[in-house]
């Protein structure tokens, strides 16, 4: 099971360090799960330096080219150089506000693989899509965008993050999460064959008070957490549940 923290554009370096130190002291309790911490890019190196050696560090995005004249961007190789071993690709906040299309995301994903990073590829429908009953179609299209990658045998982690549940306090129901995760498993096994199934995380208002119910769903392999990952005690509680259901 993977529990990933997406800090987004939150916390200063000192606050991030305090948060990580708060988690470090519990790390020995979480021997059966993978913890991935995705701080803002300028803090990757500092957070890698202080994080427990069992914790993974991840980027929140990377550029779709390996290097070059791309002012303000960060390449996958640079993330790896700072000690990252994961990167989030296709978060809905980047799809929406930075206009990242499927073809852009595929380029990013390929660069990430070339740099030796493990991808957490985000999919998920908007409220409008769900109300129109289009959620499977949307997610299927987002998976098709990285079909080349899936065909090549590189197995990403997939995060199902319904856009309407992100940062809203609204959580998808247990049957809806189960149905979508099963759908994603069947789509990816159709594309890749059943040999290497991706792990599928749920993201969208995961909190200490709903984490046990969500993580207990059989098709849920972990969580990608925004707001609740900014609080050491709350995040630790979620990790404890993950450890409990992983046993
Ligand atoms: P919240 O947990 O704040 O809803 O954010 C989820 C998310 O976007 C993680 O990538």
Looking at the CA of residue 229, tell me the nearest atom of ligand 1.
2
Q: Is the pTM of this model over 0.75?
A: yes
Residue 72: its pLDDT value, please? 94
pLDDT digits (tens, 9 = 90+) for 152-179: 878 899 999 999 999 888 888 999 999 9
Q: Is 230 in the pocket of ligand 1 (CB under 6 A)?
A: no
> To test ligand 1's pocket by mutation, which of 36, 205, 222 has the most ligand atoms within 8 angstroms of CB?
205
Using a 6 Å cutoff on CB, does residue 61 contact ligand 1? Answer: no
29 CA to centre of ligand 1 in angstroms: 24
CA of 16 to the centre of ligand 1 (A): 17
Would you state the pLDDT for residue 194?
67
Q: Kindly give the interhelix angle for 174-192 and 135-145, rounded to the nearest 10 degrees.
A: 40
CA distances from 65 to 23, 73, 76, 108, 210 (A): 34, 10, 8, 7, 39
The total number of structural domains that make up the chain: 1
The finding on whether 120 has its CB within 6 A of some atom of ligand 1 is: no
Indicate which residue's Cα is closest to atom 2 of ligand 1.
Answer: 226
> 121 lies in which domain range?
2-246
| pLDDT score, position 163 | 94
Residues with a known catalytic role: 91, 161
Tens digit of each residue's pLDDT, the chain (247 residues): 999 999 999 999 999 999 999 999 999 999 999 999 999 999 999 999 999 999 999 999 999 999 999 999 999 999 999 999 999 999 999 998 888 999 999 999 999 999 999 999 999 999 999 999 999 999 999 999 999 888 887 889 999 999 999 988 888 899 999 999 999 999 998 888 766 789 999 999 999 999 999 999 999 999 999 999 999 999 999 999 999 999 7
Q: Which atom of ligand 1 is nearest to the CA of 8?
A: 10
Q: What is the CATH number of the domain that holds 203?
A: 3.20.20.70
Question: Using a 6 Å cutoff on CB, does residue 2 contact ligand 1?
Answer: no
Q: How far is residue 96's CA from residue 37's CA, in Å, rounded to a whole number?
A: 23
What pLDDT was estimated at residue 98?
82
- Rounded to 5 degrees, what are φ and ψ at 185? -60, -40
Q: Does the CB atom of residue 161 touch ligand 1 within 6 A?
A: yes
SS3 state at 154: coil
């Amino acid at each position: 099971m993977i529990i990933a923290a997406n800090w987004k554009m939150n916390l200063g370096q000192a606050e991030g360090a305090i948060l990580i130190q708060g988690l470090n002291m519990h790390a020995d309790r979480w021997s059966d799960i993978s913890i991935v911490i995705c701080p803002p890019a300028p803090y990757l190196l500092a957070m890698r330096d202080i994080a427990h050696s069992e914790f993974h560090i991840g980027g929140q995005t990377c550029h779709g080219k390996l290097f070059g004249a791309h002012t303000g961007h960060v390449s996958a190789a640079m993330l790896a150089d700072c000690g990252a071993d994961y990167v989030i690709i296709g978060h809905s906040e980047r799809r929406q506000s930075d206009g990242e299309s499927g073809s852009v995301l595929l380029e990013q994903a390929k660069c990430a693989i070339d740099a030796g990073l493990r991808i957490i590829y985000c999919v998920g429908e908007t409220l409008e899509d769900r109300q129109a009953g289009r959620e499977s179609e949307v997610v299927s299209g987002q998976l098709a965008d990285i079909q080349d990658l899936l065909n090549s045998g590189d197995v990403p982690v997939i995060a199902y993050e319904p856009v309407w549940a992100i940062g809203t306090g609204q959580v998808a129901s247990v049957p809806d999460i189960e149905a979508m995760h099963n759908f994603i498993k069947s789509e990816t096994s159709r594309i890749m064959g059943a040999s290497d199934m991706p792990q599928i995380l749920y993201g969208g208002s995961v909190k200490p008070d709903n984490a046990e119910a969500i993580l207990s769903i059989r098709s849920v392999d972990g969580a990608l957490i925004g707001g609740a990952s900014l609080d050491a005690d709350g995040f630790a509680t979620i990790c404890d549940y993950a450890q409990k259901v992983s046993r």
